[in-house]
Structure 1
Amino acid sequence: MEHNQHGIEEMQKGHFEEAATAFSKAIEENPEDPISYINFGNLLSAVNEPEKALKFYEKAIEIDKDAATAFYGAGNVYFNQDNFNEAKNMYEKALKKGLDHSDVYFMLGMSFMNLEQNRLALPYLQRATELNSEDTDAKFQYGLCLAQHEMIDEAITQFNDVIQVDEKHADAFYNLGVAHAFKENQELAITMLEKALSIQPDHLLAGHALKIINSSIE
């Protein structure tokens, strides 16, 4: 079996030492193949060796300036280090190099969200949901972003999509409750907030919002 493929299979099984051996052999046999360095970088990221992982991604880019997945891998390292500006730069380069995948759009959107540039996040989160309609994380974050721009009806659509797939998503129910309260549909807001609390009884935000609505009714 080809070393890179073997390494990926071992990595998926959680056999990290065996994966490292396979990727090392791949690099030894073909030191100018960027894929081997990217795979080793992914492995190092998985075992929480971010600085070492970056060196492998950088080596892959040095060999092939169009190695889109190397930019994406580096972006993930920076994102996990809360270096959202550098993460954004890497994800943008991955897109420019042709990595047209929902995960790239989602992570770029999340980078903008963490940089408090929510309007810039919107189109990327939207594209992530278009490319992967089953991604509840992307739909939820897109819904939050829409809600922050007072696009309430659009946000409700996203949150409803989330609970259709994941009926235990307490935060989606909470945000639906807030959205319906914003639209002055108190009955539906209470239903959503109570559902959030039934899933997660210690959901402080849902409990607080429910108290406010009930007080206003009384």
Structure 2
Amino acid sequence: MSNKNEQAIAAMNNGELEKAVTLLYEAVEENPKDPIAYTNIGNLLAQAGEVKQAVAYFEKAIDLDETQGTAYYGAGNAFFELEQYKDAADMYQNAIQQGLDQSDVHFMIGQCFVMQDALRLALPFFQRAVELNEGDTEARFQYALCLAQEGAVEEALPQFERVVEEDPEHADAWFNLGVSYAYQEDITKAMNCFDKALAIQPDHLLAGNGKKQMEQAMNNNN
């Protein structure tokens, strides 16, 4: 990595974006075949909200060096923001093939499939994200959600339990844990989970509805 690339990254981290831009454009002028400089410009543009422009720089970096995993990942993020989920998933897959086999990348591929209503395809990517990073609570929640929506409630339940253990303020996880208990006809535990979701988020309509259904079930059992 050239010195100007390193200086630019330091400037980006310090919030000195104009300085970073100047340094990166200088790096490109000095070495027009430096894929890292193009990748960094792409990241900077994406950070500044210039997402379409960012894609062009990521693609230039990839043209110069097809092994640039971080350029594929940056392009994936840009396409995701542009709601081009198929293109995003392709870029993330390329990033993995170039050695960026990380939890975040698998998580984002899962999200691409979720956005395309293809939960069955999303499931293994969320599972892999959790395997690569046991502490990624949001990946675990999405994995549990996919399991539940695909009908594997028994497998989903312990995952939701772990999510609320790690993040006790996760209202949606409490709600879905309640639904999982309701499927197992454990009304008391389901009610408790819906109450916890509502304590965190009083306007959680689904949890409110779930609680009403559990109250009706309890009345019917009496």
With normalisation by structure 2, the TM-score equals 0.94
* Structure 2 letter corresponding to 1:189: A
* Structure 1 letter corresponding to 2:138: D
1:186 is matched with: 187
79-88 or 47-56, larger mean C-alpha shift: 79-88
Deviations 1:101-133 (A, max 9, x none): 111100011111111211111111111011111
- Report the Cα distance in structure 2 between the residues aligned to 1:61 and 1:102, rounded to whole angstroms: 22
Structure 2: gaps (5+ residues): none
With normalisation by structure 1, the TM-score equals 0.95
Deviations 1:125-152 (A, max 9, x none): 1110111111111111011001111211
Determine whether 1:109 maps to 2:110: yes
2:91 is matched with: 90
* Structure 2 letter corresponding to 1:135: D
- Report the Cα distance in structure 2 between the residues aligned to 1:4 and 1:193, rounded to whole angstroms: 51
* Structure 2 letter corresponding to 1:162: V
* Structure 2 letter corresponding to 1:141: Q
* Structure 2 letter corresponding to 1:117: A
RMSD: 1.3
Aligned ranges for residues 1-218 of structure 1 at < 5 Å? 2-218=3-219
163-172 or 90-99, larger mean C-alpha shift: 90-99
- Report the Cα distance in structure 2 between the residues aligned to 1:155 and 1:112, rounded to whole angstroms: 19
**How many percent identity over aligned positions?**
47
- Report the Cα distance in structure 2 between the residues aligned to 1:159 and 1:207, rounded to whole angstroms: 19
Question: Secondary structure of 1:116's match?
Answer: coil
Deviations 1:152-210 (A, max 9, x none): 12212221221222111111111101111011111000001100110111111111111
Runs of 4+ in 1 over 6 A off after TM superposition: none
Structure 1: gaps (5+ residues): none
Aligned CA distance change for structure 1 residues 9 and 168 (closer, same or farther; 3 Å): same
Question: Secondary structure of 1:62's match?
Answer: helix
- Report the Cα distance in structure 2 between the residues aligned to 1:155 and 1:74, rounded to whole angstroms: 32
Deviations 1:45-82 (A, max 9, x none): 11100111011001101101121211111111111121
